[in-house]
Amino acid sequence: MKELNKVIQINTALSNKPFFINVSNLDNPSIDTVINEAVSSLEAQGRPLEAQQLTQLYESHQLYNGNQTRAKGDLFTDLATVRKTVGEQDVEIAELTLMTSHAGGL
């Protein structure tokens, strides 16, 4: 049986290129943990500006998974996922979108 890789795709309004974070080595991480992993990964790759932007977006924007608003403490298993085969690897992807919310009015 192939190993199932767990990945979180993080979409932001600042970039048309999402961040992909492999969370297979973490035991059912919370969204907080995933964002911290993403920030650490960006810093380790020499991308401190993007790390800072992601931190600021996470603090000031709402989280969406599909059509549902998510809490920062929600776990990977709480998220809607899609299973895909990439190359010869099975991947379970949860997509998070960071965005501001606007309801009615000008």
Q: What is the pLDDT of residue 100?
A: 81
- pTM, 2 dp: 0.82
- Any idea which residue has 């790390």 for tokens? 51
Please state the domain extents for the chain: 4-99
Q: Which amino acid is at 2?
A: K
Q: What is the pLDDT of residue 104?
A: 52
Q: Which residues share a beta bridge with 83?
A: 92
Report pLDDT digits (tens) over 18-45: 888 888 888 889 999 999 988 998 899 9
Q: At the top level of CATH, which class does the domain 4-99 belong to?
A: alpha beta
CA distances (Å), origin 87, targets 2, 83, 84, 90, 91:
12, 13, 10, 8, 10
Report pLDDT digits (tens) over 62-104: 999 988 999 989 999 999 999 998 888 899 999 999 988 656 5
